[in-house]
Structure 1
Amino acid sequence: MKTVLISGGGIAGAALALLLRRRGFAPVVVERAPGVRAGGQAVDIRGVALEVMDRMGLLTEARRMRTRMRGMSMLDADGTEVERTTEYALSSGRLDGDDIEILREDLVRLLHTHTHEEVEYVFGDSIVSLEEHEAGVRVGFAHGPARDVDLVVGADGQHSAVRRLAFGPAEDHTHHLGSYLSVFSAENFLDLDNWQVWLRDGDAGFGIMPVRDNRELRIAFGFESAPLDGDHRDTEWLRRLVVDRLSALRWESDRLTKAALEAPDFYCDALAQIRMDRWSHGRVVLLGDAGYCASPFSGQGTSLALVGAYVLADALAGRAAPGDDHRTAFARYESAMRPFVEANQALATENPGGPASEESMTRAKNAITLPHAPR
């Protein structure tokens, strides 16, 4: 049984672990966080990714967990409503469609629930070295003892440690998109009832949506900026940046600032894309944001993670040609995924400052055909 070490216990890593275990592999998931990560914005499962969820047997559960927005309002900088709709939401698209909007933490928890009994999870640790040898890879960790594994998958996000170790510095592959995004939770101080609001004030703006039966808010605040000189893991430095910009808003700045200061799940990062000529090096391969982050501007990061996990698991299982080695499998994975990735990354740059067209989204979310499901 081949051991596949997966760095990252988020959507991409947990989905791959589930799919590999069902195909007879022994996946091990290493996650830097001390447990399953909470917080995060609502994410979307669209197009072909819905079929992946169905093949994993999780589609019905995901539909039960979806958000239930009734519509949205667009506000001016003073908080006055200038537009409203019950047909569409900026966070998810058309409200009468089949696509699913779900909180990131709920999707990660769902995947973990269906994997943790058969998959080894190592929380609170991270990969610090990779040494490939004839029979596999010797992996060094920040805290635990080194391990020898057959393959390594970097599913550890935009700032992937696996990518840095195997492919070089992040700046070689990162393309900044001119903005930063912060996401954090708060009490529902606006009394929103399954209704989201969006506002732009100069070079900053936010979207606010209620979750957890309207008990909480998820606030997504963005601001334009060139790349900032600081540590992306320094949460308090990032929190100060966000608070400074929130305090300059004309509407609800005090309560938004207070929420950002107090939020235990505060997150902020640059909006960027990862673009690479190849996603594998020897026995190491990249998945999801680590290899082809499309940025939240695309609205397709979750779908890319789920579809990528399915295609990679299928390629590694060698169904097309039993006995294929990892090099053949990685090539098959990349050949199938690259057109899909390029179509979805293009969504983020089609309409700077706004969403891509509905027609472009429809094409991109369906721009791949999955391999036949295994028996």
Structure 2
Amino acid sequence: MSSRSVLISGGGIAGATLAYWLARHGLRVTVVERAATARSSGSPVDVRGPAFQVARDMGVLDRIREATTGARAMTFVDDSGRATARMGLAQADISRQVELPRGDLAAILYEACRDDTEFLFDDSVVGLAQDADGVDITFERAGDRRFDLVIGADGLHSNVRRLVFGPESRFVRGMGLYAATTPADPSLEHDPQRVVMYNTPGKAVAVSPARTGALAFFVFRSRTVPGFDHRDMAQHKRLLSAAYANAGWRVPELLKRARACDELYFDAVSQVRLDRWWDGRVALLGDAASCISLFGDGSSLAMAGARTLAQEVAADSGDLSAALARYEAAHRRLVMPKQRFAGLASRWLVPATRYGIRLRNLTVRK
């Protein structure tokens, strides 16, 4: 059984963590990643809960702590930059929780698994056909290959999910929000230990510290945008500019940087809901299976789910379906409460009215 081959589509947090644990269990692992290199940017994410122990067992916890954003508190401000409320952040105690840029976490996990994993960068899965004994894969660039198991860890817009389970319109549920992140101008003055957030009704903008400078974060309420394309950066910059055209505080300078930047991330804030996360010899992991939303514990759950999946696959004694079913049953117990909480978190972070902003500030004011 140790000679089994596994293809993981997606080399981000979920895919790299899974690759590490599968290789440790003696399986032959290949990761195909659409990006040309390991990812190096992204908004802050948390490593906490079960992911904290996963990181410790992988031997990467110290590196994760070294990459912390340093954020210890959050301040809410008005148009003039006057503080209206303050609150401490849980990651102030790095013995239990660490916040770090998504790209830094992905890079740390990639380095942990790369020596025992084959990586195919700048490539993707374009065809998939499975039978009782394996899965035939057609790559966009590499030659056709066959694997014993295929895992879709390729995010909200999963290509593997589309090929096996159907179009994403069946599973992806927008939450009426769009979000963007981008590195702020290096000259931007910011508090290296404090997130600063500005709200107007239905909109939020934040500046968050990071080791390499500040990150700008935008999220706003909107009806579904007709013809939205998550890969069309020109469209994203137009939507962002229109949404924040009359915003105060430091938003104009942050927008100027976002319009000029090539590292802009922009997408609809969404959840993924499927009745089942596996079909035959293909399974889904992380956001591809159960995207919580921008406001959940997606990265931590991806790491926890990856180890659970690897353990069940490694323990498979001939009944792969049973192994995948055990993985799903165990991990759904962690995911479902977080998905239910996401709507409340979005209303807290992006109140729709001025009254909602005032009420939120009153509940956190210190």
Question: Shared fold by TM > 0.5?
Answer: yes
Task: Report the Cα distance in structure 2 between the residues aligned to 1:323 and 1:70, rounded to whole angstroms.
Answer: 47
Q: CA deviation at 1:351?
A: 4.5
Shift of 1:326: 1.5
SS across alignment from 2:74: strand
Whether the 8 Å contact between 1:188 and 1:210 is mirrored in structure 2 is no
Give the structure 2 partner of residue 144 of structure 1: 142
Aligned partner of 1:303 in structure 2 is 300
The CA deviation string for residues 124-172 of structure 1, in whole angstroms up to 9 with x for no partner, is 0111111112320111111221111111000000000100110001111
Distance 1:120 1:96 in 2: 36
Give CA deviations for 1:329-352 in whole Å, capped at 9, x if unaligned.
101101111111101212202344
- Where structure 1 has 5 or more consecutive residues not aligned to the other structure, the ranges are 356-375
CA distance in 1, matches of 2:192, 2:135: 51
CA shift, 1:245, in A, is 2.1
Which of 107, 110, 113 matches 1:112?
Answer: 110
Partner AA of 2:97 in structure 1: D
SS at match of 1:115: helix
Instruction: Return the alpha-carbon distance in structure 2 between the equivalents of residues 52 and 307 of structure 1.
Output: 7
CA distance in 2, matches of 1:26, 1:248: 54
Could you tell me which amino acid in structure 1 is paired with residue 193 of structure 2? N
CA-atom RMSD in angstroms: 1.6
CA distance in 2, matches of 1:350, 1:205: 15
The residue aligned with 2:28 is: 26
Tell me how many residue pairs correspond in the alignment: 345
Structure 2 SS opposite 1:114: helix
Q: 3-state SS of the aligned residue for 1:9? A: coil
Q: SS where residue 214 of structure 2 aligns?
A: strand
Pick aligned residue for 1:258 from 256, 259, 284: 256
Match of 2:317 among 318, 323, 326: 323
Q: Which residue of structure 2 aligns with residue 205 of structure 1?
A: 204
Provide the identity percentage.
38
Q: Identify the residue that residue 247 of structure 2 maps to in structure 1.
A: 249
Q: Which residue does the alignment assign to 2:364?
A: none
Q: Does the CA-based 8 Å contact 1:30-1:126 persist in structure 2?
A: yes
Maintained 8 Å contact 1:158/1:274: yes
Following superposition, the deviation at residue 234 of structure 1 comes to 0.9
Q: Match for residue 191 of structure 1?
A: 190
Structure having the larger proportion of residues in helix: 2
Q: For residues 1-375 of structure 1, what are the structure 2 equivalents within 5 Å?
A: 1-85=3-87, 88-89=88-89, 93=90, 95-96=92-93, 98-186=96-184, 187-212=186-211, 216-229=213-226, 230-298=228-296, 300-318=297-315, 323-354=317-348
Would you identify which runs of 4 or more consecutive aligned residues in structure 1 move more than 4 Å? none
TM-score by length of 1: 0.88
Question: Gaps spanning 5+ residues in structure 2: where?
Answer: 350-366
- Separation in 2, partners of 1:345, 1:2: 33
Report deviation, 1:297. Answer: 1.5
SS at match of 1:310: helix
